[in-house]
Each structure stands twice: as C-alpha cells, then as structure tokens.
C-alpha cells in the first residue's frame, strides 16, 4: 500500500473512512489524498444549490484538520462530476492502489433510488477498496 484515496463528504461514514485511512497510512507509510466530489447532474440543474463548491471546500478543510490531528498530511482534491465515476477516474489518473469509502448503510430501495457510491466504487474501481462501516 503506497497511495490511499479517501472519499469524504463530512458525514459519519466518511469520518469512519478517514479514521480507517489514517490507520492504514500510519501502518504502511502510504500517502493520503482526500477527495470530495462536487456532484454535477446531467439534464437537471447542474449543481445542487445545497451541495456546492463551498460546501465541499469546508468538508476538505475539516478532513485535513482531522488528519493533521492524527499526524497525517494529505493532498486535497475537489473535482466535479458524478461521484462514483469521478472517484474511479481519480484512482486511475492518480495511481492510487487503495480507496477508502464510508458506507451509509442504505436499504435496497434507497440504493435503487439514490445509488450507492461505496457499492459502485467497490465493484468498479481499479484498486483495493476498503469500506468503513
């Protein structure tokens, strides 16, 4: 394990993912990058007004502070796009060998209606995927 990418959205599952990534980085000496994807919705309003760039910038600052408290420095990434496919693209482009995501524990209906980023990344990413629960 050399390069870890953590998906972070400020929620409790994402905090668990951040904690897990910090533990993995400490034990392996890997570098860490944190990604917070600003969602873009094709065919609708392009960006959610309550989920915009400033929201994700705050989440990334929070993630950096949490990691620094654990002695981990991290690169921060704030792309726009569909979250799951954007994370998968960043994995390849950045040469990450491990991805850590949180699981919100969606039920079957919610997964169908909302989609599960962690499930999609786990089945499609070209890296080892750790799902923090």
Q: Where are the domains of the chain?
A: 3-132
- Cβ–Cβ under 8 Å, residues 40 and 81: yes
pLDDT for 54 equals 85
Backbone angles phi, psi at 55, to 5 degrees: -60, -45
pLDDT for 7 equals 94
- Cβ–Cβ under 8 Å, residues 11 and 104: yes
26-65 pLDDT, tens per residue? 999 999 999 999 887 666 555 555 567 788 899 999 999 9
In this structure, CATH architecture of domain 3-132: 3-Layer(aba) Sandwich (3.40)
81-124 pLDDT, tens per residue? 888 999 999 999 999 999 999 986 544 433 333 347 888 898 99
pLDDT for 46 equals 53
pTM of the complete model? 0.85
Helical ranges in the chain per DSSP H: 12-28, 53-69, 83-94, 108-114, 117-124
């Amino acid at each position: 394990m050399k390069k870890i990418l953590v998906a972070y959205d400020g929620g409790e599952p994402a905090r668990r993912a951040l904690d897990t990534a910090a533990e993995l980085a400490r034990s392996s000496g890997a570098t860490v990058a944190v990604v917070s994807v600003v969602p873009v919705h094709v065919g609708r309003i392009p960006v959610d007004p309550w989920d915009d760039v400033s929201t994700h910038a705050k989440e990334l600052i929070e993630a950096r502070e949490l990691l620094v408290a654990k002695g981990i420095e991290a690169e921060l990434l704030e792309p726009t796009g569909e979250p799951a496919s954007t994370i998968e693209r960043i994995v390849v482009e950045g040469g990450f060998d491990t991805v850590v995501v949180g699981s919100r524990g969606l039920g079957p209906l919610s997964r169908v209606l909302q989609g599960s980023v962690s499930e999609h990344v786990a089945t499609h990413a070209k890296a080892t995927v750790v799902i923090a629960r």
